[in-house]
Amino acid sequence: MDHAADAALVLSFNDARADLAHAGGKGANLARMYQAGLPVPTGFVIATAAYRAYAQANNLAAVIERAMAGLDPHDGDGNQADDLSLQVLERAAGVIRTAFAAGRMSQALPGAILSAYGDLGRPAVAVRSSATAEDLPELSFAGQQDTYLNIIGDDALLRAVVGCWSSLWTARAIGYRLRNRIDHEDVALAVVIQRLVPAEAAGVMFTANPLNGRRTETVIDATLGLGEALVAGQVEPDHYVIDGTTGRVLSRRMGSKALSIRPQEGGGTVQITEQAHTRSALPDSALADLVRLGARVAQLYQAPQDIEWAYAEGRIYLLQARPITSLFPVPEGAAADPLDVYFSFGAVQGLFDPITPLGRDALAGFMAGGARLLVDPTATIETQQVAFNAAERIWARCTPLLRNKLGRIFVSHFVPVIEPGIAQAFAQVIRNPRMGKGGLPSPRTVLSLARLLVPVWGKLAAALVHPERSRGMAERAAETYLATIAARRQRARTLAEQIDLFEEAFIGAMAVIVKQYGPRIGAGLASMNRLLAMAEHYLPALDGRLALVRGLPHNVTTEMDLVLWATAQQIGTGAGARQALLAADSRTLADQYLNGELPPVAQRAIAAFLARYGVRGLAEIDLGRPRWREDPAQIMQILQSYLRIEDENLAPDAVFARGEQVAAATLAELQAAVRRTPLGAAKARLVGWVAARMRALAGLRESPKFLMIRIMGIIREMLLETGAELVRGGQLVRRDDLFYLHLNELRALAAGYAIDWQALVAQRRASYARERLRRQLPRVLLSDGQVLYEGTAARPGLGDGAIVGSPVSPGVVEGVVRVVHDPHQANLHPGEILVCPGTDPSWTPLFLAAGGLVTEVGGLMTHGSVVAREYGIPAVVGVHQVTQRLRTGQRVRVDGTRGEIVVVED
């Protein structure tokens, strides 16, 4: 084909310019497969330049702008398109599509199109839309634009082309772009013209299983005739699951295939009733051919593919390929065999957001420190084999634990306390034959554990004997380490020196956490578990045995909330300070504080609070996220709510004191029950002894994370100063751009490598923003791609229709649901049920107003659970997809004793 004059309008599949920008997603993929020698029917692409020329000639931009006015996707959560009614979208789509249909092609367009059509021999063709924003690795536009089959003749072809162009503006396509924040001005549409395959059978093939995520399985759906009946959901196809490695058919289900769509003479298609439920649409030899072709396509794109195909005269033809966007990414570097297992670090921390690149490196540093203590004394951030990236989040590799008997014992005892949903996923994984029966750890591992655990067990025993003294030793060791890092930070002048400190600070912290905090927390949690077990034995009818762990002292998160309350009280005594804080919005107050413009008593009180706790913030486990001392708007919002409290019984200090009283009363009740048994006096003294150890040590559960956050505070402040220098030097645009680079890239930046750092950061920020839209995360990933999402499983004895989770704070409450994804934007009214993905310490001040708490992730000792017990708020955690299953405004009953949520008014 030679159309030199029309080169920008029509492209052959062999044309190097048939890329995403010119040929759209579908056209670019077909061209790439054609050039790779795959069996793609011949054809050509009407380029995006033709669409733009048509739109310009008919002044369609003005029509589109008027029709789209008011359809703004950029609300607070990025979900406004979900609130747009289908009627509104269809009205806008109707106006735009009518204008397209009424337009006229300029003189050059028909000639270029029909000339290319003539080169094909003017056969029956398929005319398919190909948008520039479709079939991308992170987005799927499948079925949103129109396709026309068995088009014959010049006039019919030109009409079909205009129909495809206008289908860029269907209601569904408009809504999808709004939800995914794709600017309408950034998309255009190419049209693919292909010789029609007179298919005896057709269908779709997934080179990875889209239901369970396994990359080792190929899934094929096949029906008779053209594939449109299947794509449109009009027919039940044959369904095959095939082992992509061996070709073995793992499952086969014959569909009814009750109708087929066939080409009809003269153009167009016709539906035909079939009697085909007992016969396969494809012979087994064709299935094998399909699997082999699918593997070639996936290899070409280096990613699993969703492929449309047709079968005619013994041959397979590929009609389309696009990424399977619904698959959750596999951790980087993972191999399907041998099977590896990873759990979500975010689920444990109550963090659903992605983590910045440098934030992931910081967490990898902590895990490298753990690896140095246990298995690899030379582990670094780059070489450690614990923390892996998938979907810009941290996944912790736990395969060694699950492949040996000692590790399985550890998992069965401790993981249910941390995150019951992960524990249940692990139980399912352990049953997988590929995990083996669980052998014994290697002698090298046993020796490493012995070196570590012998002194740790010694400190644990000492902690049980002298809990107060032992806790003080751990806290002094942490303060000494922090002082060392702070002193080093003052000496680290260059970026290269700061990178060295970064790695040393995070890796070294794990020794303090494991050797100092570990034995004390272990003693405290062991005491807590023992006390709860005794309560269950001696007081089986006591629903509120978790009240024993209320009012635990030495918890840094609870202490922070109490200090913030004291800060509000101090502000309330200042002349005019209370009125000043209540008169402005939190954003204005934050700016006034940062500029030193608040009333003196408020300025001093808030400064004192932030001097201790300003290193905290939302998603604080991510080094790249702002801290309260940088943006105290959330603190101002909480202070405002505290200043409005008039009921003294709701004051945090009063709530905490009541918690202590309830715990003491429950302990007394337990001891009284124990005294009524044989040797009761001695047993009662033992109960008191165990309770004293729990109260002295279990509150330290939050301290290791606070140590990590304080280290991050030092390193972040240092890097922000360096980032400001790099902005002045022109390498970066914003001082926090550094956090969107990895540590090895910072080394290259420090060495002066000539890389477009600004472009790389912009790309990373865009990727991060896309990942923030992800609403569902699995708890456990396997290296073959399988994902396990579910939370706590249902238990016998719960009410009909109950939503179940893990009970972590006793009591029953009824209230109105408030689903919250961002505590900065929470508008929680007193008594409402706070429903959220998970919580970190930045969420806990909201608990003062909450009547109850329900989260998707968490366990007995996670942040939200601990603080909920302190405040006496019934809480249920580990509830799968609860932010989608419950809606703001519903009235529910939350039973924090049984782990049950019941909708009482919808």
pLDDT in tens, 484-511: 999 999 999 999 999 999 999 999 999 9
Question: Does 187 lie in the same domain as 100?
Answer: yes
CATH code for the domain of 292: 3.30.470.20
Nearest residue to 326 via CA among 177, 139, 172 = 139
Q: Which of 169, 195, 221 is the last residue of a domain?
A: 195
Instruction: Output the CA torsion 343→301→128→773 (10° steps).
Output: 30
Structure tokens at 75: 């609300």
CB atoms within 10 A of CB 263: 20
Local structure of 426: helix, strand or coil? helix
Q: Tell me the residue range of the domain where 23 lies.
A: 4-195
For residues 535 and 80, which has the higher predicted lDDT (pLDDT)?
A: 535
Give the phi and the psi of residue 29 in degrees, each rounded to 5.
Answer: -65, -40
Query: Is residue 425, in this structure, part of any structural domain at all?
Result: no
* pLDDT for the residue numbered 574: 82
Q: Output the six-digit token pair for 496.
A: 């290269």
Token digits for 787?
């994902």
Residues in the chain, total? 906
Domain tally, the chain = 3
Evaluate whether 820 touches 839 at the Cβ level (below 8 Å): no
Whole-structure pTM value: 0.86
pLDDT digits (tens, 9 = 90+) for 789-814: 876 665 555 556 789 998 988 889 99
Asked if 824 contacts 842 with a C-beta cutoff of 8 angstroms, the reply is no
CA 583 and chain centroid, separation? 37
Residue 793: predicted pLDDT: 60
Domain membership of residue 20 (yes or no) is yes
Q: Give domain status of residue 730, yes or no.
A: no
Reply yes or no on whether the pLDDT at 743 is more than 60. Answer: yes
Q: Is the pLDDT of residue 314 over 90?
A: yes
Q: How many CB atoms lie within 10 A of CB 647?
A: 8
- End-to-end distance of the chain based on CA atoms, in angstroms? 64
| Helical packing angle, 108-120 and 154-166, nearest 10° | 120
**Average pLDDT score, the chain:** 90
pLDDT tens for 833-876 read 999 999 888 887 788 778 999 999 888 878 888 888 888 889 99
- Domain for residue 365, yes or no? no
Q: What is the rounded CA–CA span in Å between residue 621 and residue 422?
A: 20
- pLDDT of the residue at 543: 67
177 and 63 co-located in one domain: yes
| pLDDT above 50 for 4 | no
**pLDDT for position 84:** 59
Query: What is the chain's alpha carbon radius of gyration, rounded to the nearest angstrom?
Result: 31
Do 167 and 234 fall within a single domain?
Answer: no
DSSP at 196:
P
- 837 token code pair: 């993905």
Active site residues: 863
- Report yes or no on 632 lying in a domain: no
Q: What span, in angstroms and rounded, lies between the C-alpha atoms of 414 and 742?
A: 33
The H-or-E segment that residue 814 falls in is: strand 812-819
Place of tokens 């009009």: 234
* One domain, residues 12 and 101: yes
User: And the tokens for 874?
Assistant: 């019934």
HSE toward the beta carbon, residue 871, CA cutoff 13 A? 28
Give the burial string for 884-905 (b: 16+ CB within 10 Å, else e): ebbeeebebbbbbbbbbbbbee
For strand 812-819 and strand 833-836, is the pairing parallel, antiparallel, or unpaired? parallel
Last residue of a domain, one of 288, 323, 358: 323
| pLDDT number for residue 799 | 59
Q: What's 88's domain CATH number?
A: 3.30.1490.20
Pairwise CA distance, residues 206 & 218, whole Å: 6
Indicate if 177 and 260 belong to the same structural domain: no
Whether 174 and 213 share a structural domain = no
* Strand residues in 277-433 grouped as ranges (E): 305-312, 315-323, 341-344, 387-390, 393-397
In percent, the amount of the chain with pLDDT more than 70 equals 95
Rounded to whole angstroms, the Cα distance separating 389 from 771 reads 13
The answer as to whether 454 is a domain residue is: no
